[in-house]
Structure 1
Amino acid sequence: MPAKSAPPLLVPPVVEDIQGNRILHFSAPEMQSRMNLLQPDALDLEYTRMMMAFLMFNATPERIAMIGLGGGSLPKFCYRYLPKAQIEVVEINPGVIALRDEFKVPKDDARFAILEADGAQFVTERQDHADVLLVDGFDRKGVPAQLSSQDFYDACYDYLREGGIMVVNLHLSDPQQGEFVNRIRESFGSSVFEVLDDDLTNSIVFACKGDRFDSLGDGATRRPDTLSKDAWRQLMPTFRVVAATMTLR
């Protein structure tokens, strides 16, 4: 079991409204989340649309866990467009959770919950395994050590159900980004691939506990029957990028 690290120094988040968008950040140059005020449930940043590409391999997940709330873009999208999924979001910073209403994050209910907890401890201690695990946890210095260690990625593998998918958002500018990807490969073996966003800012790493990635069927870039046309309009162009990347593996 990974050793529990000392509690990190939690920096209060800052919220600004700029040109029709609500932005959350910890330091002025680094934007953590962006919400379009006219379309609060839309995925405004490309990396978030890329992270949703797990739907190409499992269009009907029963349980989704997320580490990192930010402005709630991914939780809101999943809550609205995947109505049969149970969703748990783990956020260590109470200051971020306190902003949930400002970012139109749903209230907790029978299938949606936000937990104030350490994501590394969550995947180690929880017994109700997930089909999908989205890891998008950052502080003002980047990816916290407890969310990027070999022990953490090993615990993520164990936490997933057989056939489960982990999706991790990393920053390409992080000098340890390549090492983080290597650690994910160490935990998940050959069932790992990486996709870069258009402006070469984010690296989205997909890892599977199983063989879902071994073949990409023709239907992977067609709208799943369970997904609305509105959701598909947002995701389809990005899914094609992910599919093209997979063909180069």
Structure 2
Amino acid sequence: MISRSVIFGVLASTLVGVAASPAQDSRNLVESKESLYNNIYVYEQPPYVSMTFGYNRRIYTESMYNTQDDKDLPVEYTRYMTASLMYAKDVHSILEIGFGGGRTSWYLHRFLPNVQVTSVELDPAVLELAKKYFGIHDEPKFQVVNRDGRIFLTESKDRYDIILIDAYRGPFVPFHLLTKEFYEIVKNHLADGGVVAQNVEPSTMLFDSAVKTINAVFPQLDFYKADGNIVTVAYDGAERKPEDLAAVANERDKAYGLRYSLADMLNQRRRIQIEGGQVIDASAKVLTDDFAPVEALKNIERHNRKMP
């Protein structure tokens, strides 16, 4: 059995997208805001603007914008989130949970202007700063909703071809967006042939449990290593074979004129054995809600808030 180190290589100890750096920063701080959920800092180092969250005396980069190139995705893992485009049976609607600076969803909107792109962001202060500094504005087929992602899905009757999950607070994914019950809600909101892509932080003990939890709901998992981050693409049904993915990748690269080639990304695809394998710890536990679903909806808002 191939070891995790062979599959993923040496994982960086600091992650872009959830990257940690000392609270003192050499970049120019242009604005900071303390919200109910985050301590938010916007830095400028031309031509880049970055949004960071402060947590436990450290700074974690959440989004980066190239002000001279609106179609650039400077953070590598965000490019691999778009690999989901070659998995989905159709691409009519995309949902993103965790907006941040909005660059991933804006990239998809720019290249797929006829596809409905909806993003859900918990923190209104994050939305305010994204529109102020990250080139985001209201347009047809592009919608941003100020709501908790899980509550949004629970209340929604819509189905999506692609659901992207990229919600972080500092180095952590909110726990209620990592449980089996959450992924079952996600699955119920996928259209036929739909897929889920999620950025999963790989260097903590939660990685094995997170992967096992996703796999408890979605039998198919592909992995993409991106500068220390791991993007998982999960879906139901039979495995998408490499030759089939390659055909779709080439077709959609041509149809959409994507900046970052799906065909090139496919070369980084990895599949690992979950059950009985040596890569994922067999003793890792599937994560579940701590309370009944009705109680979850009442408590999510309280759990979302940052520590005093």
Q: The TM-score by the shorter chain falls in which range?
A: 0.7 to 0.9
Aligned in 2, Cα 1:35/1:232: closer, same or farther, shift over 3 Å?
A: closer
Indicate if the aligned counterparts of 1:164 and 1:210 stay in contact, CA closer than 8 A: no
Tell me what 1:37 maps to.
67
- Number of residue pairs matched by the alignment: 233
Aligned in 2, Cα 1:149/1:59: closer, same or farther, shift over 3 Å?
A: closer
Q: Which amino acid aligns with 1:54?
A: S
Tell me what 1:11 maps to.
38
Root-mean-square deviation (CA), in Å? 2.2
Give 1:83 shift.
1.5
SS for the counterpart of 1:98 is helix
Tell me what 1:226 maps to.
255
Identity %: 25
1:104-115 equivalences under 5 Å are 104-107=135-138, 109-115=139-145
Distance 1:77 1:14 in 2: 22
Distance 2:45 2:87 in 1: 36
Indicate if the aligned counterparts of 2:116 and 2:141 stay in contact, CA closer than 8 A: yes
1:61-210 equivalences under 5 Å are 61-101=91-131, 102-107=133-138, 109-189=139-219, 191-197=220-226, 199=227, 201-210=228-237
Tell me what 2:288 maps to.
none
Larger Rg: 2
SS for the counterpart of 1:137 is coil
Indicate if the aligned counterparts of 2:86 and 2:262 stay in contact, CA closer than 8 A: no
Aligned in 2, Cα 1:37/1:105: closer, same or farther, shift over 3 Å?
A: same
SS for the counterpart of 2:50 is strand
Q: Which amino acid aligns with 2:175?
A: A
Tell me what 2:52 maps to.
25
Greater CA drift, 91-100 or 141-150: 141-150
Distance 2:172 2:148 in 1: 16
Indicate if the aligned counterparts of 2:221 and 2:234 stay in contact, CA closer than 8 A: yes
Give 1:187 shift.
0.9
Give 1:94 shift.
0.7
Aligned in 2, Cα 1:160/1:221: closer, same or farther, shift over 3 Å?
A: closer
Q: Which amino acid aligns with 2:197?
A: V
Indicate if the aligned counterparts of 1:75 and 1:105 stay in contact, CA closer than 8 A: no
Q: Which amino acid aligns with 1:207?
A: A
Distance 1:233 1:143 in 2: 26
Distance 1:90 1:43 in 2: 19
